[in-house]
Every structure is written in structure tokens, then in C-alpha cells.
Structure 1
Amino acid sequence: MKMTQSSWRKQGAAIATTGLLLAGLSACSSAGSDSSSLETAKNSTVELSAQPNEAAINLLPQSLRDRGYIVNGVNAAQPPFEFFDSADTLTGLDIDLANLIGAALDLEVRTENAGFASLLPGIQGGRYDLAISGFGDTLERQQIVDFVDYVELGTSLMVKAGNPTSLSMSDLCGKKVAVVVASTQIQVVVPELDEACSADGKAPLNIIELPESSDPVVALASGRADASLINTAQGAYMSSQQPDQLELTDDEQVHKTYVGLALPKGSPLTQAIAEALNDLLANGTYQELLTKWGLDMMSVDQIVINGTKD
């Protein structure tokens, strides 16, 4: 059995930003029913494991089996998907998922941290064999990578605690809204909201694009932004850790879509990973993983490839 515990390395200023954010997160307690679930998940010591899956391994090319490892790219500023904990250890749902995939394929997983916007180019350029970093599966992204979709997730609106200006998803026209560059929110959700503003004769959203997934929290806290469009799982996690500073509005999630791990177009890994994950779903390990991180609401009934069709 090859080693499957992810190795990792820090890169640049992104880690400094993440470290400051997580220091603030760990100092706060959770509140409310959803928050309690997420807080429990954050402190969970549940250990998950997988056995080598011969059907999935047989789908791998011999060259990859001989190499013995795969390189996984992440942006470790996206709790609860991937982040550095108080012990400076890379953790999160996607990190556990990568290790389970490695165990099922009998391959070591070497995880590298990088800026979110650099991950898909890294896939295209051959730096990474895959990237598991909370990617929304969109038709635009399917033009350059393939996705193995493993959860379903939408976008929510995050504001300062107490929502002092009573914002909602329907009245963001002209407001300063923080989003992460290259995210589903900027690529899909913002154009839809801008179109609605235009139809009502109102100004478009005043978008503040930021490089790291933790940056919208800082923008909100400093008053630079009025609100942030954020994936629901990440927003729920962050607001549960800083209930005196952040909250999600009562709006329904918008643009609920598949989230997938990204691979090069036509990669032989794609079918092998889909086979491994469907087996983990069938034997209950997949559900245990989501429960560990308090993300049961994101579960799917089947692991699919490029599930977004329109």
C-alpha cells in the first residue's frame, strides 16, 4: 500500500492571509442549529479510510501506476473544503476526499497549495494531475477541463452580522459586492443579477474581485464591501465561526450546481476516479465524509462526469 496522506507546501502571501483569517475563526464559537453542525464538524476527529479498488486501478495507465503518485492542486483558503487548521495542518473535506481517492487507486497524493485562479491553468499546463478545490462545474470550464462531480452546491449572500442595511439577493443593484476572481459567482451569478438590475432600470452590482477565497471576509469586516456572494458551504462555515461579525441572509440559494474535481481533458484518471468515488458512495464512506464536515445537504445520488448540461 502506497502512502496516501497528502503532502503539501505553502506558497506566498496566500498563506499569510489564510493564517490570519483562521486565527480569527478559531477564536469564535458557533451559534444556531446549522452553526452547531459545522462547529462539530470542524472539531471532528473521525478517521476515514478506503481499500484499493481493483476495478478503478485497472482503469489507470501503467505509466501512472509505475509513477506511484498524483499531484493535487488546492487553494487552502476555502474552509470547510481546504484550509490550514490551528496546528498549521492542511485539512478539510477536499483533503479527506483526495486521500480517499489515493487509497482507492493505491497512489500517493501530493497536494500543493496555490492561488485559486492559477489552478485550472495549472491543470492545463500539466503541473497538476487534478485539482480538488470546490470548483463549480460550468459549461465554460468544461471547455478546458473535465469534472468528476461529487457534491451539489449553490450561492448565498453573506453580510455583516445583523444585516445592518437589510440587504437581500434581490436588492444588490449598485451595492459593493465582494467575489473571488474566476469563481462561479463572478462567472455565472453576477451576470444574472446584473441582467435583473438592468431590466429594472437600476445600476449593476459594484463588483470587487479579490484573489483569495478568504478575502471577502476581510472586505466585509473593513467596510470595503457591503456584501459577498459566496458558495453556501463556505459561507455557512465562516459565519458559524464568526457569528458576531458575519451571517448569511435568508435568501434561497441561487444557481445550485454541481461541484467537481477538475482534471485535464481526456485524462485517464477521470474514469478511474469516478469509479472509485461511486464505490465509496455505495459503501457509505462518501456519506460519512459529508457528515464529518457537516455538509450532508450537499450530497448527490451518483458521481457523474461533466454533470452540468445547460
Structure 2
Amino acid sequence: MVLAGGLVASLLTGCGATSLGLGSSSQQSSTTGCSSGGLKDALPPDVKPGSTLTVASDASYEPNEFLASNGQTIVGMDVDLLRGALQCLGLKADFKNAKFDNILPGVVGGKYDIATSSFTITSARLKQVTMVSYFSAGTQWVVRKGNPRHVNATKPCGLSVGVQTGTTQADELKAINKGLCKSKPVKAVVEDLQSKVTTDLLAGKVDAMAADSPVALYAVKKTGDKLQAAGKITGSAPYGVVLPKNQDKLGDALARAFAQMATNGSYQKILAKWGQQSGAVEMFAANPAVADG
């Protein structure tokens, strides 16, 4: 397959997941999309059915994308959803683990064909890439059990807060320090991996952490009685699969595939598998309008 705009000139075709070194079928994220290739006629002419797309994902954002117990296979909600949508289009995926803030430049520069990594759709990102909405998430703050530092997520001035580099939450802390907390700034402790952010909080190295709601709430659930949510989910916005700017037609095809999954119930089953039904959306679109200006 050849994609326009400087993407890789040729991609693997006709390869099953096991032939790509992604582990056995029992280690894979299960996929229940729709009949294989049922929407292949929706593909643009430069994307051939049967092609394998190179997909970037930061596998540190459990439960959305993370490494399975074998330490190699990328699994999670985003992985299952994208595999299902690509299956509907007669396409396959070769997932590559990548640092979050390197993913967008990698898609723009042609290193990756597509990306799924809990990217909130923003007007700034839409200027660089095409994005396809498929889920809704907001920001959730998390503290240690009992909230020993008396964190108020609406007034965090002077606190140390862990966030992952390149995320919406990192941008939110910058905005807080320019406004509400200008005289007593929040100390942002920025880590490359969300897993390190969570570890810092558990160890008491930061007073709180802020992350996307599905990730934050999953961390609370997974750590038992060690962490708790602080405040309500704020700023809910759509996640988007990322494609090159000139691949809006492929974006439209992906939106149709997600819609087909919602119609046949596989979309809801995948969300239920990861306990993320609250983030379900009813509309899927390439380059949707966003309200962040």
C-alpha cells in the first residue's frame, strides 16, 4: 500500500498478528468488529484492502493502551476498538510502542500510518492531523487514600501534581499557573510514562496526579485502597484516532466502521470489557468541531 504525503512507500500485506511477533492469540486483545472487510468499499483508492497499517501507541496508559504480561504485546481498550474498526475495513494493524509526545510528529512525518493513544481532539491538533472521534473522556484528579494533603482539585495552588508529558492535563496545569495559581503556582511533575506518574503518587513524591478519566479511575480500582478520586471529571471531550492530514477520506471510512460496530454491538462489548461504558459516544466523525477555540 502506498499512502500519499510522504508515508512509507510499502507496508506489509496479508500478515496475521502472530506473524508480526505480537504473541499468541491468547495474549492478543480480543477483537469483535464486524464482518472482515464488510466496509472495504469505503476505503480511498490509495489504501488497499488487506494492507497492514503501522499504528503508534504509548503503551503506558492502562487500560487504554499498555503492555500485556509478556512485556511485548500492546493491549487495551483503544487497541481493541481500532483493531475492530480496521477489521471492518479489511485492514490489519502492526502496533508500535512510542513515546506519547513523539507520536503526532511521527504520523505527520510518515513514520507511522495511524495512531491511537488516548488523544483528546483539540483545534491545535486538528491543524496538524486528521482525527476520528470514538470515545469521550475528561480529566480526573487522584490522591492517596484519605487525601492526606487535603487536595482540592479546583484550588490546587502550591501543590505538586504529576502528569504525563504532552497530555491535555500538562496543558491544563500550565493554564492554571497563568491564571488561578499565578501567585502560588502548581509544581508540575512531568513524566514520560503515565505508569511513572502513578508510581510517584503511590510513593508520596507528588500530592496528586491528573490524568484522563478512564486511566485515572482504572488506577484507583487497580490499587485497591491506596488511591482515591479527588473531585469530579471535568472538561469531557472526544478522543480521536490520528491520521495524516491528507487522509481525511480514510478518516471518514474509520468513522463509518466505528458506527457499524456501534450498530452491531461490538463497540459496546469492547467498552464493557474494559469497564469504560461511561465514555461511549453515539456519533463518530472525522475532524469533528471542538469547542476549545
User: Is this a same-fold pair by TM over 0.5?
Assistant: yes
Q: Is the counterpart of residue 220 in structure 1 residue 201 in structure 2? A: yes
Q: Of 75, 81, 90, which residue of structure 2 is paired with 1:106?
A: 90
Match of 2:61 in 1: 78
Q: Give the Å deviation of 1:189.
A: 5.5
Shift in CA distance, 134/225, structure 1 to aligned 2, threshold 3 Å: same
Query: Equivalences for 1:16-95 in 2 at 5 Å?
Result: 48-54=32-38, 56-65=39-48, 68-88=51-71, 89-95=73-79
Alignment pair present for 1:255 and 2:239:
no
Name the CA distance, whole Å, in 2 between partners of 1:128 and 1:215: 25
Kindly provide the amino acid, as one letter, of the partner of residue 143 in structure 1.
K
**Which of residues 131, 149, 154 is equivalent to 1:147?**
131
Matched, 1:208 2:181: no
User: TM-score by structure 1 length?
Assistant: 0.80
Structure 1 moving runs of 4+ over 3 Å: 1-9
CA offset at residue 46 of structure 1?
A: 6.7
Counterparts of 1:142-181 in structure 2 under 5 Å?
A: 142-181=126-165
Deviation for aligned residue 1:49: 4.0
SS in 2 for 1:237: helix
Please list the CA deviations of residues 123-150 of structure 1 after superposition, one character each: whole Å capped at 9, or x if unmatched. Answer: 0011111101100111111111111010
Q: CA deviation at 1:60?
A: 2.1
Structure with more contact order per residue of length (Cα contacts < 8 Å, sep ≥ 6): 1
Structure 2 unaligned residues grouped into runs of 5+? 1-12, 23-28
Query: Using the alignment, how far apart are the partners of 1:78 and 1:195 within structure 2?
Result: 29
Secondary structure, aligned partner of 1:165: coil
SS at match of 1:255: strand
Distance 2:186 2:287 in 1: 30
Task: Name which of 236, 239, 255 aligns with 2:220.
Answer: 239
Q: Structure 1: how far apart are the matches of 2:157 and 2:176?
A: 12
CA contact (8 A) 1:49 1:100 kept: yes
% identical equivalent positions = 27
State whether residues 181 and 210 of structure 1, in contact with CA within 8 Å, keep that contact through their aligned partners in structure 2: yes
Shift of 1:277: 0.9
Query: Counterpart of 1:23?
Result: none
Q: Residue 301 of structure 1 aligns with which residue?
A: 282
Change (3 A) 1:264 1:8: farther
Structure 2 counterpart SS, 1:178:
strand
User: Structure 1 residues 4 and 144, CA, compared in 2 at 3 Å: closer, same or farther?
Assistant: farther
Matched ranges for 1:259-274 at <5 A: 259-267=239-247, 268-274=249-255
Cα 1:96/1:3, change in 2 over 3 Å: farther
Measured after TM superposition, the shift of residue 98 of structure 1 is: 2.2
Task: Give unmatched runs, 5+ long, in structure 1.
Answer: 10-44
Find the aligned partners of 1:281 and 1:255 in 2 and give their Cα distance. Answer: 24
* Higher helix fraction (1 or 2): 1
Q: Distance in 2 between matches of 1:276 and 1:47?
A: 13
Superposed CA offset, 1:83-138 (max 9, x none): 12224332111111122122111122111111111110110011111101100111
Question: In the aligned structure 2, how far is the partner of 1:117 from the partner of 1:4?
Answer: 29
For 1:301, what is the secondary structure of its paired residue?
A: coil
* Inter-CA distance 144–46: structure 2 relative to 1 (3 Å threshold): closer
AA aligned to 1:85 is A
Structure-2 change in CA distance of 1:119 and 1:299 (3 Å): same
Given the superposition, is the C-alpha separation of residues 52 and 46 from structure 1 closer, same or farther in structure 2, using an over 3 Å criterion?
A: closer
C-alpha distance in structure 2 between counterparts of 1:111 and 1:270, whole Å:
18
CA RMSD of aligned residues (A): 2.4
Cα shift at 1:4: 5.9
